[in-house]
Structure 1
Amino acid sequence: MAVTAQNSDTRPYRFDERLRMIPVDAETLAARVALADPDDFPGLRRLGIALMLLGRYEEALDRLDQALELADTEQRRITVWINLADVYRYQGEPSHAEILYRRALHASRARYPDLVSFAAHHLGKSLAEQHRPRQARELLEEAMRLRVVDGDSELIESTRAALDHLDELALPLPPVIETLLGPVPAWSQEHEGRGGNLVRSGGYWIKRGPRAVAEYERLSWLRDHGIAVPQVAGFAEDVLVLVDAAVGSLAAEADSIDAVTVGTRMGQTLRSLHELPVAQCPFDGGLEVTLARAHRNVVEGFVDAADFDDDHRDLSPEAILARLRQQRPATEDLVVTHGDFTPGNVLADGLLIDVAALGRGDRHRDLALAERDLAEDFGPEAVAAFYAAYGPTQPDRAALDYYRLLDELF
């Protein structure tokens, strides 16, 4: 595929062979970024885009979140949603990108038709990368029709290039993973625990993106410290392949396992995790990091208020975030936490799964979620068995309430 240049003499980027933006002069761009100190919407948005071009994705998200908070019109919010989606797409999180692109497309169709082609074009390229060519073509053709009417030759050429090379945009698997699975594995759309980039193919669980990298690092650390976790079949770049354990989670096996057994297994598993040497854990799951992620989820609109616990139904995500900051505990009872310790993340044979959020954090984060889900799904007997198996620690009720509230933003 030929590289498509976009006014490289005036813009800080050009397009690579996969039609992704890359900096024309990374060194000069980095120097400009180092000197930038914007405090207004346009400056923050430009800085966020520059950081994305440099591959500094977390910083880009921070700056674009600031721009989003300063956006005083729906039109500005739409443009930042597209920019944020670009960052997530380049970072390897297509599910987040798709949500933001579709939100921008829906809003622009309703009120700002001049932005529809941008949202449709970007979403189309993202879907093409995810091996969804039919949907991608429909969106790109819509963008093309609008751009032909508008008459902007540069935008027309950009969309034409995407249409002409649609099949080449699909993200390939790393060679070592392709050897294991084949070039186009059969990705399931329905299975327990499906979310984000998680798919199932021929006895393997496959994850891709930053969370896959995080999970691989944590799985390796846990295995070295004697915790039962899934077997890694392969890992390359940002793709993780796990051997299917061929057993359901405690949540999935609820009809065949009694409540006391579920609670006991949960308590034993968590006690083993929390007894690991916290000082040796290289991953940070504390409040400073977690509240920052919660803030991002609120600002970017990823919080599902319809899924709040009954006693939080009258609260907005913004109100919950404000309460969490106001009531933040002065200290943390640090252990190695799972970060999402529920019956769905413990297999019936005791294997611990979905550990991408594992790190040093307050034990009550795990205790709160375990207690909540066991009470809702298995009843008080399971909760009693859980605490009996976990051990002598007397949980702090205020801390349990705090971390259950925190979980609403994830």
Structure 2
Amino acid sequence: MAVHCEHLQVLYCTVSVRTEPDAGDISPVFHNTRACFRDCGGQAGGKERSLHTCHNTDHLARCEGKGLWKMDVVVELSTSWPSFPESPWRQVDWSEETKEVLMESVRSYKPACCSVAAARVLLIGPVGAGKSSFISSVQSMFYGRVVNRAMVGSSSSSSTSFTKQLQSFQLYSSRERDGKNMALTLSDMAGLGEGNSPTLHDTLATIKGHVPEGYTFSACSPVGSDTPGYVKEPHRAEKVHCVAFVVSALELSSYSQTMTSTFQQLRKHISALGVHQVALLTHVDKLVKASDITQVYRSLPLKHAMVKAGDLLGLPVSSIVPVKNYSEELELEAHTDTLLLKAVDHILQYVELNFRDHPQGPQQADDADSAVSFSSRPSSLEN
């Protein structure tokens, strides 16, 4: 049932999309499945018809006001669909030589601050985003095979965080028993989104170095001077030198408004401590839907996802890098390693900014976190 609207014969409809193999991911193009169907003169079930996305809400409202029928249309997309632009929107050298250079750069990294033996990076993110998987994936590269050093839960149980305590992992430089540890420690904590996820108070206390290793977070029992193992006067080496937010590319549309508010508050208070922040966008291989991970920076859906992640976290896209964690594989893959190494290198750049911006250490008032909370009582970051 077509009507004349803006000089087009259009039909307002709901659209279901099916693609042929290798056609690429087009779901962002038909977001919310609201579109206009242009009638090319064919009969129903007859000639091919073209589809164009309509972002004009006034236009849609006028069409809906005509009392149009709503129907399902299956659109066949051929392999010629331009899912990947000719030029990548970020340049990456995927050669084996570059991968080896990156590995040696990370392996030989030394903090610019002489009082810090190993830079400390804290991973923060929702349950199931892939924080522990990232730690294990990075360790796997230097270990020479896939290992789960940071215990990882099943994705099917992602509503509950597998990590319950503050756990820190100083990375091994190789599989050899006599190999030296690298000057990089990745710290993991319980994921945001469940009842006992860390409070803002506890998160800031962790960044400031007060929380002891192995501490189990509880919304009902905030970290304080009476906490067993509480570090009253932490050295700079015990503090966090960079925060890496971890979010899933597959869940960006599912994160609640409360989660968005949580990230905004974290960004505000962590920035006030003088600690730089970056973001890791995980599960990008599921979003790009390409057998070759080197196509990651040619994917327009991924670029849109990174912009959306930036809006969620309040970070510029330049602070966000995509990663593919090892989850099903038993063997390492060179291009996956390159993407992971680029992420670690990205993090270390911001770690160095921390040391160079604050040669004597950032000023962090010990009682500052007592003035910040999400409510008048201790509460988890995301309920």
The bucket for the TM-score relative to the shorter chain is under 0.3
TM-score by length of structure 2 reads: 0.27
TM-score by length of structure 1 reads: 0.26
- Structure showing the higher helix proportion among its residues: 1
Choose 1 or 2 for highest CA Rg.
2
Specify which structure has the bigger relative contact order, considering alpha-carbon pairs within 8 angstroms and separated by 6 or more residues. Answer: 2
- Structure showing the higher strand proportion among its residues: 2
